Amino acid sequence: MSESKIPCEDFLGWLAARDVDFYTGVPDSLLKPLCFYLADNAGDKHVLAANEGGAVALACGYHLATGKVPLVYMQNSGQGNAVNPLLSLADPDVYSIPMLLLIGWRGEPGTKDEPQHVKQGKVTVSLLEEMGLPWRVLDAEPEAAQRSVDELVAIAAAENRPVALLVRKGTFASYKANDQPSGDFEMTREKAIELVAAQLDDRDAIVATTGHISRELCEYRARNDQGHQRDFLTVGAMGHASQIAMGIALAKPDRQVFCLDGDGAMLMHMGGTAIVGVSEAANFKHVILNNGVHGSVGGMTTAGLRVSFTKIAKACNYTEAWRVEHADDITEKVAELRAAKGPAMLEIMVQKGARVDLGRPKTSPIENKTAFKEFLSD
């Protein structure tokens, strides 16, 4: 007998029966089937938010306009972004706004996961309880799952408060998504990272954003028998790599500091771009690898191909901002980026997707930090 899983269509049907018809959030690998189902079927009732706090605020606005209970989805790492609007806006002690949070439970105690998820997994339930949010684990058995949905949406509506459903790996049945919009670019992200890293000096420091970008940089070093001491791999804290890099740049003005960022990460905390710009850190160099999708959690479309990061950077006081699409242009542009007085940006348009056999860092975060600090102190 096969293991029970919840069809996405059934789950959305249970919500519809409770008059839940608006969905917003940030994609998670554990919620991948549902995220793609929403993208294909929910139309303008589905908004992929820049970050989880923004998703909570969107949900608040929808409730104020309709009186309905909206759905907000996220990975449990996004609880941190959501805490402020949940407590200072939606909480019963403030505006008392109902919503159903659907949270992918990465790093659940007793499961194997990456270091950045282990701590978050341990505190996921305690965070919900400290915030006073009624919660359930979504059972993979459909009848039990429907009961949990019904109970929680009823609580949210009756008590005007946020509630939460935790989702384990494999809870949702697979879903074959329609092709997501993407650009037709010639370069893989991995090739672009290789071309950028090859042009940097031995004293240049790199801060790489979370997900595939850090993993591909790590693989590049391994293939070329290079150490990893020059690179800080931001394995968690999506969207904050530019601020880490800026902190280093300000403290080490004699070093060039390169931030390898993704379009989804850039969008998540784009206000950091303004802070970098007004810092006038001459040694800060920002490289955006833009494939228009959240590649590390499944490939849902971002707004990355519909906005201009170069124009945003220039408006935020970056001295230079270029956009390239072809591998033949990268060597020249990286040389210009190194020579430019920063803050400066190079946006590289790349294909979506990654190698299926892409490895992960062999060293622990503490080992990475120690080697990187020693590199910076040399």
pLDDT tens digits along 338-376? 999 999 999 999 999 888 888 888 889 999 999 999 999
- Residue-wise pLDDT for 151-167, tens only, equals 999 999 999 999 999 99
Residues 341 and 239 in one domain: yes
Residues 65 and 101 in one domain: yes
Q: Is residue 373 part of a domain?
A: yes
Residues 127 and 231 in one domain: no
Q: What's the rounded Cα separation, in Å, for the pair 365 and 342?
A: 29
Q: Is residue 183 part of a domain?
A: no
Residues 245 and 318 in one domain: yes
Q: Is residue 158 part of a domain?
A: yes
Residues 253 and 127 in one domain: no
Angle at 123 between CA 122 and CA 124, to 5 degrees: 100
Q: What's the pLDDT score for residue 114?
A: 83
Residues 162 and 221 in one domain: no
Residues 318 and 201 in one domain: yes
296: pLDDT confidence band, cut at 50, 70 and 90? confident
- Residue-wise pLDDT for 227-277, tens only, equals 889 999 998 889 999 999 999 999 999 999 999 999 999 999 999 999 999
Token pair belonging to 305: 């191909």
Q: What is the pTM of this model?
A: 0.93
Q: Is residue 295 part of a domain?
A: yes
What's 117's domain CATH number? 3.40.50.970
Residues 68 and 108 in one domain: yes
Q: Is the pLDDT of residue 179 over 80?
A: no
Q: Is the pLDDT of residue 1 over 50?
A: no
Number of independent structural domains in the chain: 2
Residues 162 and 206 in one domain: no
Q: Is residue 2 part of a domain?
A: no
Q: Is residue 353 part of a domain?
A: yes
Q: What's the pLDDT score for residue 251?
A: 98
Q: What is the mean pLDDT of the chain?
A: 94
Q: Is residue 179 part of a domain?
A: no
Q: What's the rounded Cα separation, in Å, for the pair 297 and 264?
A: 11
Residues 154 and 241 in one domain: no
Enclosing domain of residue 17: 8-167
Q: Tokens 């650009």 sit at which residue?
A: 183
Residues 141 and 238 in one domain: no
Q: Which of 113, 136, 167 is the last residue of a domain?
A: 167
Residues 46 and 148 in one domain: yes
Q: Is residue 184 part of a domain?
A: no
Q: Is the pLDDT of residue 180 over 70?
A: no
N- to C-terminal Cα separation, the chain:
61
